[in-house]
Chain A
């Protein structure tokens, strides 16, 4: 016993690094928690008044409403209550839905996960493929066309792209009928758990997913292309060719893995921006996910719901960053020891 008690825990460089990253992520989350609370308190508008707008409600009743939301107490007390509740998993009651925020979020999280997950996968796979092909066949017709298209797409605001696609394929232009539904997750009369239901959701998903995918393909293609072009001038690729490797293998085994390093970081950092993209795209297509929910919450304004959604978004971004950091260390041995 005595022997073990004197043996102190000595973390390795990797463990120290991991520990530092985890602590950093936790601190970021704590900061978001505090910031969220005050951010929504400085927003203009009295929720109790907004909820009773255009209705004849006696002043005492507004006061009762305000009291029931806990808004009557002084700010420090509200803050203490907020931190205690959040840490125990209670995000409060939504003003708008009159239900626990966690319940509302749980209902709306899956459409967003579906939309963002699918469009991230597609834009990553297609964008990287375009970038790799363009760099490998630099100045070919494929490279010129894809580079031009990528730059055009990259410059487009995503909500505008969404509206244009909505008009072209949802509403229909001139004699052309709309090919896809203009909004929502599914048609009202379909059974979601059936094959027809899945097809119906897929049809609804098509346009918002296409918009987000197009918006991000361009960036991945451009970054992958330039990263690979940098890598292609490296001497170790000449070594690989001299050893007798065919060009396709030189590319796949040596150039691409190295060129992927900066791109991987970008993809994960981008998850944060995709979340904000989801707010506009879900609003354009009335996709009932967290993006549309935050838009609805902002209009009320529904503080507890906004706080809940923002906390979730922030946590997603922080975790994505953490994964990017750890993944980079896994992929690049120079970072691991450094």
Chain B
């Protein structure tokens, strides 16, 4: 049985200006001990996925589909059962460097709170456990008596990881665990997560916008865009040979260290993420897509097999030409190339002329 099985999950947030569908029919599975990376830009629904696993959604949110955690549907659990499941079966490593810790309580107390909530242990036992947890994440046990503001960003993130481990969950969800940390600390935190995962046999759902982080940490990657998974497959394949133009843009948005050309000429993606209330028709990525063709604005995309155990939601994959996604150079971000070459939503392909010729 899969540790986590998300089936056709839809999450719709309430809002005055109209309901916001943040996640629109996502399927995911995660086996015990497995690592899955979930990537995507701001507003693609990846953090909503993290919140949905423990049903940490704001009141009034509508959901459909199922989120099976060890076979039990989290979305329909009774509140008492839900609270018992939270942190014991799955725990979340929030972006601890910023505001995920209570600023006026000692970090040791905040970790002990989780222990006391789920285990009947004495204060002394809990304190010992807090010390062990802190040492496990590479902090001295005496740090338990510190307040969050007395710690550095990296130390706070370590505290957050120690807190997530407090009740020995089998699944760890790390939601942007390295955002707002400097690169050196990022690497340390990722190494720590990877070590802990291996030692404790945890399954890890790692959520970030940084595809290169996922490529080095995860076995599999799923890329989200506008509330849906647009590509999914083995990490190395997805990162090195994207089968979806959005994955490609995401992979190329980070300059390769040491590669002068990529640093001088970083590749970006024109346009803004779409408004989830008013998504473009057909493939929602088509207005920003460098390789879109005439059929894209009306095509209902789904995940098609793209070879090497991969699936991608792109017409070129359906047509059996995933290499077309990689052939056309995406637009460099710079003065010569305006970020908005055509009217938004016009579907005007950028640099896509050869493709169009080729396809029609």
Binding site for B on A (CB under 8 A): 234-236, 238-246, 253-254, 257-258, 261, 331-334, 337
The closest CB in chain B to the CB of A254 belongs to B102
- Assembled-state Cα–Cα distance A174/B105 (Å): 58
Distance (whole angstroms) from the CB of A237 to the closest CB of chain B = 8
The closest CB in chain A to the CB of B96 belongs to A239
Known A244-B114, A245-B113; judge A236-B92 contact (CB<8 A).
Answer: no
Q: Which residues of B contact A261 (CB under 8 A)?
A: 104
Known A244-B83, A333-B147; judge A236-B113 contact (CB<8 A).
Answer: no
Give residues of chain B (281-308) contacting chain A, Cβ–Cβ below 8 Å. none
Q: Which residues of B contact A332 (CB under 8 A)?
A: 104
Of the A-B pairs whose beta carbons lie under 8 Å apart in the complex, a sample of 29, sorted by A's number, is A234-B99, A235-B94, A235-B98, A235-B100, A236-B99, A238-B100, A239-B94, A241-B56, A242-B86, A242-B87, A242-B94, A243-B113, A243-B114, A243-B163, A244-B83, A244-B85, A244-B86, A244-B114, A246-B79, A254-B102, A257-B104, A258-B102, A258-B103, A331-B104, A333-B147, A333-B149, A334-B104, A334-B147, A337-B150
B133 interfacial contact with A, CB 8 Å: no
- Assembled-state Cα–Cα distance A103/B333 (Å): 83
- Assembled-state Cα–Cα distance A243/B85 (Å): 9
Give residues of chain B (165-195) contacting chain A, Cβ–Cβ below 8 Å. none
Q: Which residues of B contact A239 (CB under 8 A)?
A: 92, 94, 100-102, 110, 160, 163
**Which one of A240, A242, A258 lies within 8 Å of B104 (CB-CB)?**
A258
- Assembled-state Cα–Cα distance A253/B112 (Å): 13
Give residues of chain B (56-85) contacting chain A, Cβ–Cβ below 8 Å. 56, 79, 83-85
Nearest 4 CB-CB pairings of A with B: A244-B86, A235-B99, A243-B114, A244-B83
The closest CB in chain B to the CB of A331 belongs to B104
The closest CB in chain B to the CB of A255 belongs to B102
Distance (whole angstroms) from the CB of A333 to the closest CB of chain B = 4
**Which one of B79, B85, B100, B104 lies within 8 Å of A333 (CB-CB)?**
B104
Having A241-B86, A242-B56, A242-B87, one finds 19 other A-B pairs with CB under 8 Å, namely A234-B99, A235-B98, A236-B101, A236-B103, A238-B51, A239-B110, A240-B102, A240-B113, A241-B56, A243-B117, A244-B83, A244-B114, A245-B83, A245-B113, A254-B105, A258-B104, A333-B149, A334-B103, A337-B150
A243 with B87: CB separation less than 8 A: yes
Known A236-B101, A238-B100; judge A246-B147 contact (CB<8 A).
Answer: no
Q: Which residues of B contact A244 (CB under 8 A)?
A: 83-88, 114, 117-118
A243 with B86: CB separation less than 8 A: yes
The closest CB in chain A to the CB of B109 belongs to A253
- Assembled-state Cα–Cα distance A220/B208 (Å): 42
B162 interfacial contact with A, CB 8 Å: no
Q: Which residues of A contact B95 (CB under 8 A)?
A: 235
The closest CB in chain B to the CB of A238 belongs to B56
Binding site for A on B (CB under 8 A): 51, 54, 56, 79, 83-88, 91-92, 94-95, 98-105, 110, 113-114, 117-118, 147, 149-150, 160, 163
The closest CB in chain A to the CB of B84 belongs to A244
Distance (whole angstroms) from the CB of B115 to the closest CB of chain A = 10
The closest CB in chain A to the CB of B103 belongs to A334
Distance (whole angstroms) from the CB of B52 to the closest CB of chain A = 12
A242 with B92: CB separation less than 8 A: yes
- Assembled-state Cα–Cα distance A253/B113 (Å): 10
Q: Which residues of A contact B91 (CB under 8 A)?
A: 242
- Assembled-state Cα–Cα distance A236/B84 (Å): 19
Distance (whole angstroms) from the CB of B161 to the closest CB of chain A = 12
- Assembled-state Cα–Cα distance A258/B95 (Å): 20
Q: Which residues of B contact A236 (CB under 8 A)?
A: 99-103
Distance (whole angstroms) from the CB of A329 to the closest CB of chain B = 12
Q: Which residues of A contact B103 (CB under 8 A)?
A: 236, 258, 333-334
- Assembled-state Cα–Cα distance A238/B98 (Å): 13
- Assembled-state Cα–Cα distance A229/B101 (Å): 18
Q: Which residues of A contact B87 (CB under 8 A)?
A: 242-244
- Assembled-state Cα–Cα distance A257/B88 (Å): 27
The closest CB in chain B to the CB of A338 belongs to B149
A334 with B92: CB separation less than 8 A: no
Q: Which residues of B contact A245 (CB under 8 A)?
A: 83, 113, 117
The closest CB in chain A to the CB of B83 belongs to A244
- Assembled-state Cα–Cα distance A245/B150 (Å): 25
Distance (whole angstroms) from the CB of B237 to the closest CB of chain A = 33
The closest CB in chain A to the CB of B94 belongs to A239
- Assembled-state Cα–Cα distance A246/B78 (Å): 13
**Most chain B CB within a 10 A radius of its CB, from A235, A242, A334:** A242
- Assembled-state Cα–Cα distance A235/B88 (Å): 20
Q: Which residues of B contact A235 (CB under 8 A)?
A: 94-95, 98-100
- Assembled-state Cα–Cα distance A244/B88 (Å): 9
- Assembled-state Cα–Cα distance A331/B95 (Å): 25
The closest CB in chain B to the CB of A247 belongs to B79
